[in-house]
Amino acid sequence: ARRGGWGKLLARSRYLFIAQKPEIIAEHICAELRGWRGPNGEQPFWESVGRHFFEMDFVAADLHNATHGNQFIQDLMPRHPVYTVFLSPEARACIGRPHESARAAYDMLIEEGFEWDQYIDIFDGGPLVDAKTSQIRTIRESRVKRLFATGDVANGETMLMAAGAVSSFRCVREKAQIDGDSLIVSKDAAKALNVKTGDFVRCVAW
């Protein structure tokens, strides 16, 4: 689903979902990216850090974290700094380095205004990036327009448009024309968004 631009579409659609109902979302959003591992699945960061504190391998620890929450990390990990000088060179090279399969997602997050502030995943060393919700680019640049009419918008600009909130939320990427506070979309886009003339639509340039 993340190839062919679908990952970007899904990500930016989520941001418009947030823009439609910001009061239910925290003021900051954190995204965790998969850390680097070798071509044969080796985990240098885990081997230098995690395995010394958990009586399980990486896969088991990651699964436990996903299914039972991260309290066990707080229980088992040391409360004192782990000095990177004591890690293997391979492990140090993993710090803040996303896996190749996560590189595109990392670049998209940075483009949206997320920043890496030196926080990493305790298991694989992957970066944790953070952004103030209101300053995420898609959210910040989105505007609410009133639907003026439906018609031929072949010469319009490709937009990401959303209407509704939570259970009624809909989002579509289509061409549209903007004139001041008014919006013209195709009949298909209006149908997909479940909007009619006079309704409000949130939009942002694609």
Do 119 and 69 reside in the same domain of the chain? yes
| Number of Cβ atoms within 10 Å of the Cβ of 92 | 16
Give the pLDDT of residue 2.
Answer: 56
Q: How many CA atoms lie within 13 A of 125 on its CB side?
A: 24
Do 130 and 179 reside in the same domain of the chain? no
Q: What is the mean pLDDT of residues 11-24?
A: 97
Do 52 and 148 reside in the same domain of the chain? no
Give the pLDDT of residue 3.
Answer: 61
Is it the case that residue 41 has pLDDT exceeding 80?
yes
- The CATH number of the domain holding residue 165 is 2.40.40.20
* Boundary of a domain, candidates 108, 135, 162: 135
* Boundary of a domain, candidates 103, 135, 167: 135
In-domain check, residue 100 = yes
Is it the case that residue 87 has pLDDT exceeding 80?
yes
Give the pLDDT of residue 36.
Answer: 93
Is it the case that residue 4 has pLDDT exceeding 80?
no
From CA 122, how far away is CA 21, in angstroms rounded? 32
Q: Report the number of distinct structural domains present in the chain.
A: 2
In-domain check, residue 1 = no
In-domain check, residue 82 = yes
* Boundary of a domain, candidates 102, 135, 168: 135
Percent of the chain with pLDDT over 70: 98
Is it the case that residue 1 has pLDDT exceeding 70?
no
74 Cβ contact partners less than 8 Å away, ≥ 6 residues apart: none
Do 26 and 117 reside in the same domain of the chain? yes
Give the pLDDT of residue 69.
Answer: 82
Do 98 and 35 reside in the same domain of the chain? yes
Do 154 and 125 reside in the same domain of the chain? no
Do 53 and 112 reside in the same domain of the chain? yes
Do 57 and 120 reside in the same domain of the chain? yes
- The domain of 103 spans 6-135
Percent of the chain with pLDDT over 90: 76
Report pLDDT digits (tens) over 43-82: 999 999 988 888 888 888 888 888 888 888 888 888 888 8
Report pLDDT digits (tens) over 151-206: 999 999 999 999 999 999 999 999 999 999 999 999 999 999 999 999 999 999 99
**Tokens describing residue 126:** 């992957």
- Catalytic annotation, residues: 99
Do 84 and 159 reside in the same domain of the chain? no
Q: What is the mean pLDDT of residues 92-111?
A: 95
Do 52 and 121 reside in the same domain of the chain? yes
Q: What is the mean pLDDT of residues 96-105?
A: 94
Among candidate residues 53, 58, 61, the one with its CA nearest the CA of residue 77: 53
Banded model confidence at residue 137, pLDDT cuts 50, 70, 90? very high
Burial environment of residue 107 by CB neighbours within 10 A (0 to 12, 13 to 18, 19 or more): exposed
Do 12 and 87 reside in the same domain of the chain? yes
In-domain check, residue 29 = yes
Do 38 and 109 reside in the same domain of the chain? yes
